A and B are shown apart, each in its own frame.
Chain A
């Protein structure tokens, strides 16, 4: 009997290694985007708070667009149109840019909420001690407001990490893309998606646990 050529082969320990590497890439692109996006979002939030009317008319609608248009559409549009304006970015670069702006758009509202959470009387008390505007921001508003909105920020960060799966449509081999490659080869979607899910859980769970610990300590 003639051997058939096999296109498919089973799941091997090596594939687990392959997925682990992809999980690190998910972590890397998420960490980078969340970090830069949070700093940028903080600045945007401050502008929304201080700029009042000007910011409400200019910045707010732009952020609304990035918050409202599905991430997958933003990614595909940006990846395909960026070269036209001379930005030659690989899938990773494009993914970081869009995830960063997306994070910043979400964090902007969180950051504005943080500043609003610190009441005017508290800030006047700080200023009455001779603190400058920026000293008040750095030593009073940031720690008090930051703690108030920390749970909301953790929600944004975990959401962005999961949403980073969408960068797979650009061909960046993060966790989801790696899973698709393996599913095509092994034809074992249940097993591989379960493993991918476990990896995502392993990335998120320590973060949410650590966040809960921090909140507990601050509550004292």
Chain B
């Protein structure tokens, strides 16, 4: 379980998160929507400790992410993350991309790491690309590779930071399908997304962020059908 309490985050003098309280239960799929600059991506970076916070706390399975004594590298193994820019390691083949972290972070043997990598690449439908370098893969394939790479660490939670925003329109579908598959398998997911269809169909809850504040959170039917906040309605009217 992820528990966020009174989270405040500044970039210099600019406050990007203004006191967020949010719980995400195991098995839940939460979509976070909102205009760019609303702080939704920053929220993900604060959850896995890639960005320091100024106030409040983030607790993952009982461990305070931002506490001094926390072994952040160990904790991050629980929190897989997929970025807008897929960031595949260009000097490694698809298989090596996925096998690297299990090998060096978890200390798996070469054979074990290879098994894990093959399994995860099959999982995301890239089993015919094992020995291909990322430069020969499409954006959608590279993003699925990034998902496999995160899954290889056997995380409890997956954080998606606008995973489809940098993709050509015709490649968005394959990545969303992979994310749907994970949701069906019961993965706990926090998806920052601009894909309203995905948010409506796949999420258990949808949160709307506006200028650093979580304006509204609820089941998709409520957010998309009967939003109470004027900002939420205006945003949804504009993206449709």
Contact = CB atoms under 8 A, between A and B. Distances in A.
Interface in A118-132: 121-122, 124-132
Residue among A125, A128, A132, A135 with max Cβ neighbours from chain B (10 Å): A128
B149 A129 contact: yes
Contacts of B109: none
Contact of A218 (B74, B91, B150): B91
Given A124-B50, A135-B105, A129 B76 contact: yes
Interface string B73-91: 1101101110101010111
Given A129-B153, A135-B104, A140 B73 contact: no
Contacts of A25: none
A130 B50 contact: no
Contacts of B79: 128
Contact of B150 (A124, A127, A129, A143): A129
B73 A144 contact: no
B85 A121 contact: yes
B101 A121 contact: no
Contacts of A127: 50, 73, 76
B224 interface: no
- Give the size range of A's interface with the partner: 10 to 19
A220 interface: yes
A139 interface: yes
Interface string B39-73: 00000010010100000000000000000000001
A206 B74 CA distance: 46
Interface in B135-182: 146, 149-150, 153
B198 interface: no
Contacts of A139: 100, 104
Given A218-B91, A220-B133, A128 B76 contact: yes
B150 A121 contact: no
Contact of B87 (A121, A130, A147): A121
A218 to B, nearest CB: 7
- List 10 A-B pairs, minimum CB-CB distance, nearest first: A125-B87, A129-B101, A128-B81, A130-B77, A130-B105, A130-B76, A143-B91, A122-B87, A130-B73, A121-B85
23 contacts: A122-B89, A124-B50, A125-B83, A127-B50, A128-B50, A128-B80, A128-B81, A129-B77, A129-B100, A129-B101, A129-B149, A130-B74, A130-B153, A131-B73, A131-B101, A131-B104, A135-B104, A135-B105, A139-B104, A140-B89, A144-B90, A144-B91, A218-B91
